[in-house]
Amino acid sequence: MSALFLALAAGAVIGLALGALGGGGSVLAVPALIYLLGFSPVGATTASLVIVTVTSVTALVAHARDGHVRWRTGLLFAAAGVGPAMLGGALAARVPQAALTAAFALVAGAAAVRMLRSRAAAEGVVTVRPGRAAAAGAGLGAVTGVLGVGGGFLAVPALVGVLGMRMRDAVGTSLLVITVNSIAALATRAGTVEALDWAVVGPFIGAAILGAWDGRRLAVKVSGPSLQRIFALVLLAVAAFMLIDAAV
């Protein structure tokens, strides 16, 4: 199977996840780039950040037009995580890869369980406090820095479970958080971006953008609680896969 076809297929799936669920892009992109397209771990994480950044901006515009982005909370959430993310990135270099993979899986699984138990999305309760937003954003930034992902798969549960945001608003706002976190992470990897295989990364990005638009339309048609359950199940599946991979 050609690399181009695999890049298009994986990009479409990841774009759909970002557009509909507001996260899951980087957690799906990195395994796809490594296991399907033969990227090294370093190249995969860098390429993933490029893909997720471009796709998130595209999806963010669409969700903003629909009024589902809470800008003040999202910017505070993202800004609070920049410093901790940098510190976490420095710590990650000293942690064995298998331990990072296992930690990633455990955090994803815990986030999924929290989403399944939370009723905030169904009840439509929105209680946002700047202090709680900053604290949650800082914690997310630290985890994001250590695990090397955009953080959307953790941002949505935090926005819903910690801040009481409605699911559709959490989806749109998480895209803002992903964009800020990914750009900050890319700034530290500027020298490695030019070395990427753009013949693969380019089509991947194009397919992801198209998938994100379809995902945004899906988010409009599916209820908030249903999106929450879908997101949680995706996280559980990814967590199980990564735990198995870490144990092998």
Lowest mean pLDDT among 22-31, 72-81, 140-149, 160-169: 22-31
CA dist., res. 175 & res. 171, Å (int): 7
Q: Is the pTM of this model over 0.85?
A: no
Chain mean position to CA 217: 19
- Amino acid 224: pLDDT: 65
- pLDDT greater than 80 at residue 108: no
pLDDT at 214 over 60: yes
Distance (Å, rounded) from C-alpha 62 to C-alpha 42?
31
Q: What is the pLDDT of residue 206?
A: 92
Alpha carbon distance 151, 54 (integer Å): 15
- For 182-200, write each residue's pLDDT tens digit: 887 777 776 667 678 889 9
CA quadruple 128, 111, 206, 4: dihedral, nearest 10 = 170
Rounded Cα gap, residues 191 and 214, in angstroms: 33
